[in-house]
Amino acid sequence: MTAHPTTSSIPTLSPVSARRDIPNARRVVVKVGSSSISGENAGQVNHLIDALAEAHSRGTQIVLVSSGAIATGLPFLKLDGRPTDLATKQAAAAVGQNVLVFRYQESLRRYGIVAGQVLLTAGDLELAENRANARRAMERLLDLRILPIVNENDTVATEEIRFGDNDSLAARVARLINADLLVLLSDVESLYTKPPSEHGAEAIHDVAFGDPLSSIEFGGIGEAGVGTGGARTKVAAARLAAGAGTPVLLTATGLVHEALRGADIGTWFAAGPPEK
C-alpha cells in the first residue's frame, strides 16, 4: 500500500479556475446527496470513496459533506418513507448517522484513510466563536490527513435553525475552510435549462459569475424520494460558494472519478474574487 503524503509533503498547488485545474487543487469539498448513497444506491459508497481516495493520495485535502443520515436510518426504524414529524426525523438521523459513517470508514479502510465525523448546526456557522471553533477543528483534521465527513446535526437541529439542505451546508463549509473547489454531486450529470425529463431540456456547460440564469425552469435534480435538495438549491449553493471565491462543479455521483480528474463534464460555476 502506498504511503499517503504527510502534511509537510503536500504541495502548494495552483488556484482552480477551470476544470483542467482540478487535479492540482489543494482543498476540495465534495457534497453527495441522500439518493446517491442510500437505498438501492448504497453500493455507490465504494465508488465515491475510490474517487476521493485517489484525490487524497495525490495530496489534495478532501472534505465530504454527506446527506443520507435520515434515509439510512429509515429501514432500521421499519419506516417506509421519510417521516414528516421532527422527532422521528431526529430518531432516524441518530441511527442512520452511525451506520452511514461506519460504511464510509469501512470503505476508506481499503486505502488506510481515517474518517473524522463533523456534525454542524446552522448556529455553529453563524456565531463567530462557534464558527472559529469549527474552522480550527476542520483545519487540524485536514493537517493530520484525516478525511472529515460533515453532515447537519439533525438529531439536535430544529426546523427553525436548519440549513435546509446540505447543498447550502457544503457551500458554507467551502467558505469556512477557503476551499479551492466545491463539487456538488446529484442524480444527473449537469444543470439543465428545464427538468431533464422534459422535451427540449439542454445541458448547461458553464455559468459565468453573476449570471442570473433567468432562462432556467427549475426542477428535476433530486426533488423526489428521500432527498431534500433540487436544482434550485444547488444553484443557490453554487452562487454562495462562487461569491466567496470558490468555483463549483455540479455533476452526477457516477462521474465523480472523471470530475476529480478534471474531465470536461458537468456544469461549471465560475467564482468571483476571493473573500478577504
Q: Is 186 annotated as a binding residue?
A: yes
β-bridge partners, 117: 149
Distances (CA, A) of 195 to 230, 236, 264: 10, 17, 22
Q: Is 31 annotated as a binding residue?
A: yes
Q: Is 206 annotated as a binding residue?
A: no
3-class DSSP state for residue 146? coil
Positions of E strands within the chain:
27-32, 61-66, 115-120, 147-152, 181-186, 191-192, 203-204, 206-207, 248-252, 267-269
Length of the chain: 276
Q: Is 85 annotated as a binding residue?
A: no
CA 116/CA 138 separation, integer angstroms:
9
Closest CA to 32 of 164, 151, 172, 180: 151
Assigned C-alpha cell, 275:
473573500
CA 105/CA 156 separation, integer angstroms:
23
Assigned C-alpha cell, 203:
445541458
Specify whether the CB–CB gap between 66 and 104 falls below 8 A.
Answer: yes
3-class DSSP state for residue 268? strand
Q: List CB contacts of 205: < 8 A, sequence separation 6 or more.
A: 190, 267, 268
Q: Is 276 annotated as a binding residue?
A: no
Q: Is 166 annotated as a binding residue?
A: yes
Residues of the binding site: 31, 67, 154, 166, 186-187
Residues of the binding site for substrate: 67, 154, 166
Residues of the binding site for ATP: 31, 186-187
